[in-house]
Structure 1
Amino acid sequence: MDFQGSLFEAPAVEAPTFDRVERRPLTGGAWIDVCRTWLPAPDEVFTTLVHDVPWRAERRQMYDREVDVPRLLHTYAAGEPLPHPTLARARGALSAHYRPELGEPFVTAGCCYYRDGRDSVAWHGDTIGRGRTHDTMVAIVSLGDPRRLALRPRAGGSSISVEMGHGDLLVMGGSCQRTWEHAVPKVAHAGPRVSVQFRPLNVF
């Protein structure tokens, strides 16, 4: 039986939109934006990231000994092609939407692979580079099993947390990298998760 090929062509993937973004002001001029199920076709993107990103394990000095970093890492520098076209469209959409506030595009993509609940990242701010002295933005796209992103003010006070699900977007803006810290705590049980962090130039 003959069929028209167009009946079986994959539908065009739409660009992410921002009509459901919710902004939450924090203290000290910081804020976060959250948009649920923001990234189109997250299953396909997640599978590609797990299998095609050249993940590396790192070790870091902690006090008097060297320890394994509890997650796998890879960074796509400015100008390097991203592993899936949906991520390129997502970065372009983020740059277009936030440029009036940010004043520049997102150019790098840092990737973290949390293999299970034992993988984590400790409290920190992205303060290497311009984030130490200037307002900036870091946009995080979460893929895979849900994990909690915790945030707390550096000067002390109540912490907050956002559970990031499959395809969710969270943007940290304003003074967030200088005046707040964030972390992904260990949990007893969790499946694989990939976090993609889009940043402007010279923000780490």
Structure 2
Amino acid sequence: MLEVPGAASGPAADALAERLRASINADDARVSRPHKCADLRIMGLDDSVTAEEVVAAVARTGGCSADEVKAGTIRPDFRGTCTVTVSCPVAAAKTIVDGRRLLVGWVSAQVKLLDPRPLRCFRCHVGHHVGVRCTSEVDRSALCFRCGQPGHKAVACNAAPHCIACAAAGKPAEHRAGSKSCAPPAKTKG
């Protein structure tokens, strides 16, 4: 791994990555240029908007490449419009949030900067570590993050929220695993 340090090192890091891509065979190694990203919630979209249009609007307004922008699934919200979560470079996110609105097609959508997500283990559903470093004897990786039941994922779940990690710790569990209400112990012993 090569690192180009400094706050204004972006152009130098891009140039280095391009030179490495040109000199190294893609079958031998993968050259990537990671960016520190921030998450945005884009609200008030109509149902005709596609994820590609959202990505293009974020890239255009934020001044970044469309390859650096990742959009989630566009979902209907309680107001009858649609919402999507987008991950983009921090500089682009600041530019977009400063404008407060994002023009996507014919829609002027509202933009909100989301708080960074806390570190959460997908194996035991407890925070402060990741699955590779999980020392818990309990494996909850096959359970839904919303209801704690096996056989489906949180995206398709309509059941009442129930945090299995908080329930196991004897704490209130009427919330989704990883939500702001979630407070299981940092280390579990079983």
TM-score (norm 1): 0.21
Q: Between Structure 1 and Structure 2, which shows a larger proportion of helix residues?
A: 2
Q: Between Structure 1 and Structure 2, which shows a larger proportion of strand residues?
A: 1
